[in-house]
Amino acid sequence: MFSLELAGASKRYGRRHALASVDLAVPQGTSVGLLGANGAGKTTALRLLLGFARPTRGAARLRGLDPFDAASRRGVGYLPERLRLPQSMTLQRFLHLHAALAGLEGAELVHEIDAVTEMTGVRDRLHEPVDGLSKGLAQRAGFAQALLGQPEVLLLDEPTSGLDPLGVRDARGWIESAHARGATVLVSSHVLSEVERTCESVVILREGRIAASGALEALLQPGESLEDLFVRAVAGREAPGPPKHREGREAPGPPKHRDGREAPGPPDGLGG
């Protein structure tokens, strides 16, 4: 069974196509980076998967179910890009409610809140109002709620937004440990270095379509970084090298195979 599926999914807002016939199937236990320029359709894809919007055409499935079926979101942790925490609620109550909604009860609930707040470093803030937390702490609190109950699917939209370098390193650890225990992780991000370090596969969207997808090791050419691949897939051109010298000498070209062949376009993998 696939944890996340988009089958020919299109989403249109007026005349604009946010997503156009996207096919995506993420098997259980995979960590996938969802990449793309601003407005490429990353957040729209997440909205379809969570049942926040219906595809104009095609279908979305979460844990094999229609995302509009509440049962599909059982065992799903989600961290939105624009994290807005509720007003006038302490962090403890916020996490308590989310733990209860995640199906936890009694001692297990208390233990789980202890565990995630210890892990995300917000344990000493439990009695503070969540809407008064600094951006970095709020992001940690958001991570804490997403990780409650050890979700089997973790959907993270720009997860390192607002975190300091230590927080970014911590977040990488949380994502890696979730993946290590078998969770499916989908990370939508602009921070390519983080995706490169935490995800085994990537899906790159360009103007609502999949421009490249597959295992990182299969997509990247020798000596090529994810940034190079991203530029190649999103801009539709080879990764730019250093600027030309004033006297007109060519700067080094796009990445090539060690035997001198040019790197081919991105192959398909996860996408259809």
Partner 1 sequence: MTAVRAFRIFAAEAFRDGLRRRLAFAVALVLAIGLAGAQSCTQLGIGSMEVNGEMIDGSVFGGFLAPILFGFQAWAVLAITGLLAADHLARPLAEGSAVLWLARPVSRGVWAAARLSGALGVALLCGVLLLGGTGSMLVLRQGVAIEPAFAAAAATALGALVVASLAMTASLALGRTAVILLVLLGLVFIAFANGVGLAAELAHPDIGVGGLIGAVDRYGPPLFTAIASAVAQWNPHLDPGDTYTQSMLRLAVWAVGGCLLLVAAFRTREIES
- The contact set with partner 1 (CB under 8 A) reads 43, 46-47, 50, 52-54, 68, 70-74, 76, 78, 80-88, 97-98, 100-103, 142, 145, 155, 157
Kindly tell me which of 85 and 119 has the beta carbon lying closer to partner 1.
Answer: 85
- Residue 118 CB, shortest distance to partner 1, in Å, is 21
Kindly tell me which of 95 and 226 has the beta carbon lying closer to partner 1.
Answer: 95
Kindly tell me which of 64 and 272 has the beta carbon lying closer to partner 1.
Answer: 64
- Residue 212 CB, shortest distance to partner 1, in Å, is 25
Find where tokens 């937004």 sit. Answer: 161
- Residue 223 CB, shortest distance to partner 1, in Å, is 37
- Residue 172 CB, shortest distance to partner 1, in Å, is 22
Kindly tell me which of 83 and 220 has the beta carbon lying closer to partner 1.
Answer: 83
Kindly tell me which of 48 and 212 has the beta carbon lying closer to partner 1.
Answer: 48
- Residue 96 CB, shortest distance to partner 1, in Å, is 9
